[in-house]
Amino acid sequence: MSETQSQLVADVEKLAHTQVNDCYQCGKCTAGCPRGDVMDIGPTRLIRLVQTGEVLEAARAESVWQCVSCLTCSTRCPKSVNISGVIDALRQISVEKRISAKRFNKTVLFQKEFLRNIRRNGRTNELELVVAWKLLGLASDLNPLAALRDAQLGPKMFFRHKLHFMPGSPVKDKAVVRRIFDRCMAERKSETEE
Amino acid sequence: MAKIGVFTCWCGENIARHIDVERVSKAIESLPGVHCSMNYKYMCSEPGQSLIIDQIKSLGLTGVVVASCSPHMHLKTFRAAAQLAGVNPYMVEMANIREQCSWVHADKEEATAKAIELIRISVEKLRHNRPLQPISVPITKKALVIGGGVAGIQAALDIAAAGHEVILVEKEPSVGGKMAGLSETFPTLDCSQCILTPRMVEVNQHPKIRLMTYSEVEKVEGYIGNFSVTIRQKARYVDVNKCTGCGTCWNGCPNKRIPNSFDFNLGNRTAIYIPFPQAVPARPVIDSSRCIHFKNGKCGICEKNCAAGAINFNDEDKLITEEVGAVVVATGYQLYSIGKEQSNPNLSGYGEYGYGKYKDVIDSLQFERLISASGPTGGEPKRPSDGRVPQKIVFIQCVGSRDNAKGVSYCSKICCMYTAKHTMLYKHKVHDGEAHVFYMDIRSGGKKYDEFVRRAIEQDGALYHRGRVSKITEEEIDGVRKLVVRGADTLTGKPVTVEADMVVLACAMAPTDGATALAQKLSVGYDEYGFLSESHPKLRPVETNSAGVFLCGACQGPKDIPESVAQASAAAAKVLVMFSQDHLTREPEIAHVDESLCAACCACVQACPYEAISIEEIVDRKGNHVKNTSRVNPGLCMGCGTCVAVCPSKSIDLEGFTEEEVYAEIESLLS
């Protein structure tokens, strides 16, 4: 394993608060994964890739973005490896290194917008998120049909109280949330520059 | 006139469900010789046995047929009951109407008819039976232990601790075996020498143990309790009684560059040498094939320097004959030869791994010496080619093991564990080094064993790749000779190439050279690989089919230290059970020669698998030759009956299963 590879493994382990070498490749994580059947590289092999230093290859995998973070893998792991945490770390590294799976560009876009929304409002403002995400999507693929694809879902969700046009009770101190975000970003920046 | 009692058992429902026991009893009553025929629900129970005893006593029965289960199950039980009532135990026959009848037939009519037939056969045999007396054989209460490794040492110490004399024979100049050369032992990492050397000293000092190093068993004659063993004590050229082990001789020997086989040729020794500093006995031997004096009669420095005058260049091999009652074989193992040259035509070696071609490709026992504090580098892992400390080592498991094409089909059992240990010891010595392991499966069953392997991976950072290595080549990379190891990681599904400084091959365990020759001398069986065969894999694991010969350690199959020691103590216990009696009682069902008929054709002598038959001369009172005859040694005969089958003059017969008895059975079935 080269030095760069070892550093990447250490980075994943730090972000995920886990030891990847604890994994003995039993396969229980993939066995219970609700998205396992559609993944290109299942959780077991993602961990194996990290063990062997192939963090960048793992981060390029589509499965990193197919994961729904249900935590079944981490909960059931006989060796207490935080698999879901490793996948989170891989997402972060793939975004930072701009190597995310192409097919999931819009997913990445959504995740980024979701976080930006929280940073600005202190909590999600759903209507704002929907509008921003649809505009971003339109800007990225210039396909108005795609932008309207989910339009019919809106009223349904509204009547089932799944979508709120008014933001919930306002956050008392939005600046605190913003400071949390900024501090995380700054810490990460100083770490990666070391 | 025979008075036979037939006792038919219901075995609860086991027999009665498919056999009409009452009808069987009735049908048997009228057979010739049968005096009484009874049945009972559980014949083996206390009331059942009492029934038999009472009937024998009240009716004066001369023989008993019990129709019940297999004789393997209860023949001894019913023989003992008959003996209690005063009937010779060999006048008891069993008709197996359970395993061979009720359990395998569904039709009650047919099963009942068959049960009657089976009992009729037994009755007919019993009518021809003769009472037999058990054979009593005296025992020499002295044991021979062959092999002075950890198993042999343990067996010798245990037998000696019970107060019996032991002869411990070791072919090398020192006891200790393979274990004396190991570094640290799994799963506790305690130092091998620290736990073994005190026991080595103990076998040398024990008043009941006679230690014979540099010796080999030449010939074994006799039988259980009465073996006569000839031991060849090889010429040492040093008088062990005069020698003080001071070391002047080997320090002064000018011939210093002879590869030391104890270090698997990684280090050197002198022509007069002790294999390692802690050797027991600490007395040197002269390697006459390398000594200058034996080449041209000159030098003799050791002789001049020896203050005790212990050097004797005229020493010769000595043959010593000893009488012993039991033999424990503990000849141990060696590693399967990885090179291209193979002693066994079924093996073909691993040319692709470059062992013997590249100096830095070594086997696991060589690596043990490299990291052992008593080894040629003082415990520092230096690679053999240039003495550099390797920064990257590749360990390859299953070299020769589990390989039907080139090696052996079995798993060598200990390699997973010692390879994990090797990675740990290496990482403890070279902190920034990389230890790669290529494995197929990890087999770490045992107390604290799997935890140990996980520790190597999780704490010491050994990098495990699941897959076999295809090829190793030596290439120069950035001015340094590297071994390029091409393997695969099936878990990532990708080929893996490692540029290593050293490669350690975990080779298959094989029986030591000469183990099969020894087995032939002892009439002990062995498998296709030369591992000696136990009598029963589960219930008689340390006995052999040759009575009085026991096994322990890796000569029986791949084994680690705890298992070898446990088996050695088990073998010692079996020897002590034998020695707890003054005479051995053996079953009288053995071959017997009618010497008046025997033509001494030797067919039986050739056929006997136990070498129990010999040709003897019959002489008259004046000492004149009358004739030759074959004679069976009752101590050696196992009653297999092979001789009976080959005898052309029908002069040899098997007691308890005579021709007369067997033909009576067959005829009764045909009548």
Mean pLDDT confidence for B96-104: 95
**Gap between the Cα atoms of B400 and B529, Å rounded:** 12
Mean pLDDT confidence for A28-49: 93
From B84, B103, B132, the end of a domain falls on B132
Together in a domain, A19 and A67: yes
Together in a domain, A114 and A156: yes
Mean pLDDT confidence for B215-244: 94
Q: Do B457 and A1 touch (CB under 8 A)?
A: no
B-chain CB neighbours of A19 within 8 Å are 458
pLDDT band at B634 (very low <50, low <70, confident <90, very high): confident
Together in a domain, B488 and B566: no
The verdict on residue B515 lying in a domain is: no
The verdict on residue B118 lying in a domain is: yes
Name the one residue in this structure whose structure tokens are 């040197």.
Answer: B284
The verdict on residue B60 lying in a domain is: yes
* Count of domains for chain A: 2
The pLDDT of residue A163 is: 80
DSSP state at residue B335: E
Give the residue with greater pLDDT, B24 vs B347: B24
The per-residue pLDDT for range B524-534, each reduced to its tens digit, is 999 999 999 99
* Count of domains for chain B: 5
From A73, A96, A119, the end of a domain falls on A96
Together in a domain, A83 and A109: no
B355 φ, ψ to 5°? -65, 130
The per-residue pLDDT for range B437-459, each reduced to its tens digit, is 999 999 999 999 999 999 999 99
The pLDDT of residue A127 is: 84
A148 min Cα distance to partner chain B (Å): 41
**Gap between the Cα atoms of B252 and B305, Å rounded:** 8
pLDDT band at A125 (very low <50, low <70, confident <90, very high): confident
Together in a domain, B398 and B499: yes
Q: Do B466 and A25 touch (CB under 8 A)?
A: yes
Together in a domain, B489 and B372: yes
Together in a domain, B393 and B459: yes
Q: Do A45 and B461 touch (CB under 8 A)?
A: no
Together in a domain, A119 and A180: yes
Q: Is the pLDDT of residue B10 over 70?
A: yes
Together in a domain, A65 and A116: no
- Cross-chain CB nearest to A22 (options B458, B491, B493): B458
Residue B323: alpha-carbon gap to chain centroid: 21
**Gap between the Cα atoms of B392 and B647, Å rounded:** 68
Cβ proximity of B485 and B503 under 8 Å: yes
The per-residue pLDDT for range B638-663, each reduced to its tens digit, is 899 999 999 999 999 999 999 999 99
The pLDDT of residue B526 is: 96
B-chain CB neighbours of A22 within 8 Å are 454, 458
The pLDDT of residue A10 is: 96
Helix pair B561-579, B150-161: axis angle to 10 deg: 30
Q: Do B434 and A22 touch (CB under 8 A)?
A: no
Q: Which of A147-151, B320-324, B418-422 has the lowest mean pLDDT?
A: A147-151
For residue B127, give the CATH number of its domain.
3.40.50.960
Together in a domain, B389 and B241: no
B152 φ, ψ to 5°? -60, -40
The verdict on residue B518 lying in a domain is: no
Together in a domain, A125 and A64: no
Cβ proximity of B480 and B366 under 8 Å: no
A-chain CB neighbours of B493 within 8 Å are 45
**Gap between the Cα atoms of B205 and B514, Å rounded:** 28
Range of the domain at B381: 337-510
pLDDT band at B341 (very low <50, low <70, confident <90, very high): low
Task: Please tell me the total number of residues recorded for chain A in this structure.
Answer: 194
Q: Do A52 and B434 touch (CB under 8 A)?
A: no
The per-residue pLDDT for range B533-580, each reduced to its tens digit, is 999 888 899 999 898 999 999 999 999 999 999 999 999 999 999 999
The verdict on residue B192 lying in a domain is: yes
Name the one residue in this structure whose structure tokens are 């034998």.
Answer: B578
A48 min Cα distance to partner chain B (Å): 6
CB atoms within 10 A of CB A170: 10
Together in a domain, A126 and A161: yes
- Which H or E run contains B144? strand B142-146
The verdict on residue B480 lying in a domain is: yes
Q: Please give the model's pTM, rounded to 2 decimal places.
A: 0.79
B384: which residues sit within 8 A by CB, 6+ positions away?
A: B266, B359, B360, B362
The pLDDT of residue B326 is: 97
Q: Do B492 and A1 touch (CB under 8 A)?
A: no
From B586, B612, B637, the end of a domain falls on B586
Q: Is the pLDDT of residue B215 over 70?
A: yes
Q: Is the pLDDT of residue B340 over 80?
A: no
Q: Burial, B205: exposed, middle or buried (Cβ in 10 Å; 0-12, 13-18, 19+)?
A: exposed
The per-residue pLDDT for range A133-156, each reduced to its tens digit, is 888 888 887 888 877 888 888 888
Mean per-residue pLDDT of chain B: 94
User: How many A-B residue pairs are in contact by the CB < 8 A criterion?
Assistant: 27
Q: Do A48 and B461 touch (CB under 8 A)?
A: no
Which residue in chain B is spatially nearest to A46 when comparing CA positions? B492
B445 min Cα distance to partner chain A (Å): 16
Query: Which among B442, B492, B494 is the top mutation candidate for probing chain A, defined by the most A β-carbons within 10 Å of its own β-carbon?
Result: B492
Mean pLDDT confidence for B9-25: 95
Q: Do A21 and B493 touch (CB under 8 A)?
A: no
Nearest to B211 by CA among B152, B263, B257: B152
From A44, A63, A96, the end of a domain falls on A96
Q: Is B637 helix (H, G, I), strand (E, B) or coil?
A: coil
Together in a domain, A88 and A121: no
**Gap between the Cα atoms of A148 and A138, Å rounded:** 10
Q: Do B496 and A19 touch (CB under 8 A)?
A: no
- Cross-chain CB nearest to A21 (options B457, B466, B491): B457
Range of the domain at A133: 102-193
Mean pLDDT confidence for B272-293: 94
The pLDDT of residue B35 is: 93
For residue B164, give the CATH number of its domain.
3.50.50.60
Q: Is the pLDDT of residue B134 over 80?
A: yes
Q: Do A54 and B492 touch (CB under 8 A)?
A: yes
User: Three-class SS string for B514-574?
Assistant: CHHHHHHHHCCCECCCCCECCCECCCECCECCCCCEEECHHHCCCCCHHHHHHHHHHHHHH
Together in a domain, B155 and B270: no
Q: Do A48 and B496 touch (CB under 8 A)?
A: no
The pLDDT of residue B617 is: 93
The verdict on residue B537 lying in a domain is: no
Together in a domain, B245 and B227: no
Q: Is the pLDDT of residue B212 over 80?
A: yes
The verdict on residue B535 lying in a domain is: no
For residue A80, give the CATH number of its domain.
1.10.1060.10
pLDDT band at A194 (very low <50, low <70, confident <90, very high): low
Together in a domain, B421 and B377: yes
A-chain CB neighbours of B466 within 8 Å are 25
- ipTM of the complex in this document: 0.75
Q: Do B492 and A24 touch (CB under 8 A)?
A: no
Together in a domain, B487 and B565: no
**Gap between the Cα atoms of B616 and B598, Å rounded:** 11
A36 min Cα distance to partner chain B (Å): 16
For residue B256, give the CATH number of its domain.
3.30.70
B-chain CB neighbours of A58 within 8 Å are none
